[in-house]
């Protein structure tokens, strides 16, 4: 499954896989209907998601802000690309310095923007932090050790590693055009006191392949990753994100994390943060998880997380621990409607795009993004940092 197909399917997180209603919904009348919002409504809502649906705060604490000093400006004007692709923010960092920063769609440096599936890479990093702290003993542990409600079903014998890499072998339908698909239904599971409704739904799924033998993109599986780390640490994900990352990375602003029907953070979606703080997430990965002088994950975590752990069927690409990988060493976190963190270790380069594409994904938009990334790389190579 390609990144485009996976992102299309993941859209069901917020679209509920239902036909478009006769009257176009707005964020206020149908918060789950992002697929059907008008472009103008999306551009407005993506910067105010915490006013539309419940969110938990992610505190930056009271530590110093990590400076992002101005580097040598790139000879590159992104204005036409930003207008054409409805881009709200562009940030290019090299060696931790700003080489390009632009804003559009009415936002500025203090405006939070929703990440969609870029959040998956944050949830993955929280697993690494729990592994270092000992809250998770091993990636080879069975997931049922931490989520016993999964016992007796398709997840018996599945390891934490296989959950992270989406190779559990558990059956999953992520066709968002099908109203009966798992991805349309798992966030509709009625909450029951004392139970995580997502875990309850996932526990009913049967096995389709032996664990570790097949990769299948599963948004529900990422939500299980979040439920697992929250259970292991016995803390909500938003608190863990604050303690392990947001309060240590020198973030400039608090973030917020969208909540599911059970009042828990959606492990695979929807942290909202400001542009420069998304750049600091890219730097965290580039710098091997060292925040405030301390590595928050095991020494080899990012060496595994951002390298191919599973074949996706796309030449030259793969899937790591909730990061998309390329065989040339570049990796990234991506979300629908054009959210992107692209990390190029060879060039010590981080590129962040926050967008409101006119559609969730599309080959035209993806091709334009690839062309913009290539333009940035050419400009960097033509004028390296002094």
pLDDT of residue 177: 64
pLDDT of residue 4: 46
CATH of 3-10+65-382, one of 3.40.50.12780, 3.90.1170.40, 3.40.50.360, 3.40.710.10: 3.40.710.10
- Give the whole-angstrom CA distance, residue 379 versus residue 203: 50
pLDDT of residue 188: 80
pLDDT in tens, 268-315: 999 999 999 999 999 999 999 999 999 999 999 999 999 999 999 999
Two tokens, residue 31: 């918060």
The ranges of the chain with pLDDT < 70 are: 1-22, 176-177
Q: Which of 93, 163, 92, 184 is nearest to 309 (CA)?
A: 163
pTM: 0.93
Contact 308, 166 (CB under 8 A): no
C-alpha separations of 230 from 10, 252, 324 in Å: 22, 25, 23
pLDDT of residue 22: 52
Domain boundaries of the chain, sorted by first residue: 3-10+65-382
Strand boundaries in 226-359, DSSP class E? 255-258, 271-273, 290-291, 294-295, 310-311, 317-319, 324-326, 331-335, 339-344, 349-355
């Amino acid at each position: 499954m390609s990144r485009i197909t996976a992102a299309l399917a993941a859209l069901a997180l917020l679209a509920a896989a239902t036909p478009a209603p006769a009257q176009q919904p707005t964020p206020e009348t149908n918060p789950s209907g992002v697929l059907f919002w008008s472009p103008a409504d999306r551009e407005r809502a993506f910067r105010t998601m915490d006013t539309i649906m419940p969110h938990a705060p992610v505190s930056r604490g009271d530590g110093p802000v990590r400076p992002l000093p101005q580097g040598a400006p790139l000879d590159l004007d992104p204005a036409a690309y930003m207008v054409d692709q409805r881009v709200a923010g562009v940030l290019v960092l090299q060696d931790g310095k700003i080489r390009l920063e632009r804003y559009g769609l009415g936002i500025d440096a203090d405006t939070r923007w929703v990440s969609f599936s870029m959040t998956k890479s944050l949830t993955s990093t929280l697993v690494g932090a729990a592994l270092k702290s000992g809250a998770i003993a091993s990636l080879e542990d069975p997931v049922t050790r931490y989520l016993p409600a999964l016992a007796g079903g398709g997840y018996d014998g599945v390891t934490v590693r296989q959950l992270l890499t989406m190779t559990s072998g558990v059956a999953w339908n992520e066709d968002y055009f099908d109203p009966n698909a798992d991805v349309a239904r798992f966030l509709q599971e009625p909450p029951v006191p004392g139970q995580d409704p997502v875990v309850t739904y996932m526990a009913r799924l049967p096995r389709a392949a032996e664990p570790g033998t097949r990769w299948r993109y599963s948004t529900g599986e990422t939500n299980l990753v979040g439920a697992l780390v929250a259970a292991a640490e016995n803390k909500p994900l938003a608190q863990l994100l604050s303690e392990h990352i947001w309060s240590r990375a020198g973030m400039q602003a608090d973030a917020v994390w969208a909540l599911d029907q059970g009042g828990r953070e959606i492990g695979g979606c929807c942290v909202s943060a400001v542009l420069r703080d998304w750049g600091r997430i890219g730097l965290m990965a580039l710098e091997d998880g060292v925040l405030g002088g301390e590595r928050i994950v095991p020494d080899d975590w990012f060496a595994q997380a951002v390298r191919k752990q599973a074949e996706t069927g796309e030449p030259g690409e793969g899937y790591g621990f909730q990061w998309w990988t390329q065989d040339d060493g570049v990796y990234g976190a991506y979300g629908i409607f054009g959210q992107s963190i692209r990390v190029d270790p060879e060039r010590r380069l981080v590129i962040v795009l926050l967008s409101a594409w006119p559609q969730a994904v599309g080959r035209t938009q993806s091709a334009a993004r690839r062309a913009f990334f290539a333009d940035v790389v050419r400009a960097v190579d033509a004028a390296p940092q002094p």
